[in-house]
């Protein structure tokens, strides 16, 4: 016996969408890709568009909701299902209903935790021990759709945004591979989001200002920021007139701290925070490559005072 390969339309824009598409194209036939013509915060890069060209998949760039509505109205797609990952454009009910089986969104958190635009960064910022991936049926209300499947992933204590993203993309692929066919066969039913046992919370897009370190925060919090912001906007500060990006650090318990004050002690650079101190492990002085704290102190100590 034979069957038609599963055919889907893919909606996605950012680099995680591109990675996901590359994996999905091994399992499903991608009839078309719909992508944001200029994804926000990705500085002119169009990773999904570039990948579609490479894979020989028809791609339709759109700028906004209105253009998306027009595209769907004037196109003929035969797929019964859309898959949406990191798309960045609000999808109207008309677009969802165009597909007989709707649109599945792979969201990189255990919903209803971290709804919104950047669930990965916010999971890292919170210091929580685990997050996950949810396959949600898209509904009009943002990130409130019922779940077809979800899976938890523990967060390593040294996880960074790129390392955690990579693991979540792989997990998302595993879930889609297994559950899209079962959903199309009607052998699974969607469940309300409270099945995950997580609380409702909201993430947002990061801004450039998020990267400016506020030393009044606890060292623990700042250490989370360093790992969450490592690709962008990067945790940076001025140290004795030198602009640095901190790429790795660890918390050192301290009492009676003076936030922002620093001291050099035994090849260690300690900066006082609102609570405890942060010991810098790796950093990148403005215009220089990343270096260890030892290398930095050897070259810069004289200029810090």
- Asked if 101 interacts with another protein (CB under 8 A), we say no
For 253, the 3-state DSSP assignment is coil
Spatial CB neighbours of 152, under 8 Å, sequence gap ≥ 6: 110, 130, 131, 132
Figure out which of the listed residues 127, 146, 181, 211 binds another protein, where binding follows CB under 8 A: 181
Q: How many residues bind another protein (CB under 8 A)?
A: 16
Cβ contact 172:150 at 8 Å: no
Question: Which residues, 51 to 80, sit near another protein by CB under 8 A?
Answer: 78
> Of 10 and 300, which CB lies nearer to another protein in the complex structure?
10
Indicate the angle between helix axes 161-184 and 119-126, nearest 10 degrees. 130
Cα distances (angstroms) measured from residue 244 to each of 32, 121, 223, 267, 286: 44, 21, 15, 17, 6
Question: Rg of the chain over CA atoms, in angstroms?
Answer: 22
> Of 26 and 74, which CB lies nearer to another protein in the complex structure?
26
Alpha-carbon distance 117 to 88, whole Å? 8
DSSP assignment, residue 87?
A: -
Figure out which of the listed residues 1, 56, 266, 287 binds another protein, where binding follows CB under 8 A: 1
> Of 1 and 305, which CB lies nearer to Zn ion in the complex structure?
1
Span near another protein by CB under 8 A; candidates 1-9, 102-110, 210-218, 282-290: 1-9
- Asked if 209 interacts with another protein (CB under 8 A), we say no
Figure out which of the listed residues 56, 185, 253, 255 binds another protein, where binding follows CB under 8 A: 185
- Asked if 5 interacts with another protein (CB under 8 A), we say yes
- Phi and psi (nearest 5°) for 222? -65, -35
Alpha-carbon distance 151 to 222, whole Å? 28
Paired strand residues for 244? 237, 285
Figure out which of the listed residues 4, 43, 54, 255 binds another protein, where binding follows CB under 8 A: 4
Span near Zn ion by CB under 5 A; candidates 1-9, 114-122, 159-167, 229-237: 1-9
| Residue 284 interacts with, from Zn ion, another protein, none (CB under 5-8 Å by kind) | none
Alpha-carbon distance 186 to 188, whole Å? 6
> Of 1 and 141, which CB lies nearer to Zn ion in the complex structure?
1
| Residue 282 interacts with, from another protein, Zn ion, none (CB under 5-8 Å by kind) | none
Write out the residues near Zn ion by the rule CB under 5 A. Answer: 1
Write out the residues near another protein by the rule CB under 8 A. Answer: 1-7, 26-27, 29, 31, 78, 177, 181, 185, 187
């Amino acid at each position: 016996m034979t069957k038609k390969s599963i055919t889907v339309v893919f909606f996605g824009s950012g680099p995680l969408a591109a990675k996901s598409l590359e994996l999905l194209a091994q399992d499903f036939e991608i009839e078309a890709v719909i992508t944001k013509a200029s994804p926000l915060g990705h500085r002119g890069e169009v990773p999904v568009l570039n990948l579609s060209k490479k894979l020989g998949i028809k791609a339709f760039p759109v700028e906004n909701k209105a253009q998306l509505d027009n595209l769907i109205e004037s196109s003929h797609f035969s797929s019964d299902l859309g898959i949406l990952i990191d798309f960045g454009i609000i999808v109207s009910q008309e677009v969802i209903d165009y597909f007989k089986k709707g649109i599945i969104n792979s969201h990189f958190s255990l919903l209803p935790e971290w709804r919104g635009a950047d669930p990965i960064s916010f999971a890292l910022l919170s210091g929580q021990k685990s997050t996950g991936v949810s396959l949600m049926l898209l509904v009009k209300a943002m990130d409130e759709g019922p779940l077809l499947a979800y899976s938890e992933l523990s967060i390593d204590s040294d996880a960074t945004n790129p390392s955690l993203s990579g693991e979540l993309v792989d997990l998302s692929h595993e879930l889609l591979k297994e559950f899209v066919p079962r959903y199309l066969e009607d052998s699974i039913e969607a469940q309300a989001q409270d099945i995950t046992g997580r609380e409702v919370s909201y993430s947002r897009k990061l801004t450039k200002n998020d990267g400016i370190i506020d030393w009044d925060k606890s060292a623990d919090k700042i250490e989370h920021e360093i790992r969450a912001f490592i690709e962008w906007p990067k945790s940076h500060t001025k140290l004795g007139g030198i602009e640095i990006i901190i790429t790795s650090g660890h918390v050192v318990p301290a009492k009676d701290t003076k936030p922002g004050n620093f001291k050099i002690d035994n090849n260690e650079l300690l900066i006082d925070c609102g609570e405890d101190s942060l010991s810098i492990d790796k950093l990148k002085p403005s215009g220089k490559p990343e270096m260890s704290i030892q290398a930095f102190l050897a070259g810069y100590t004289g200029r810090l005072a």
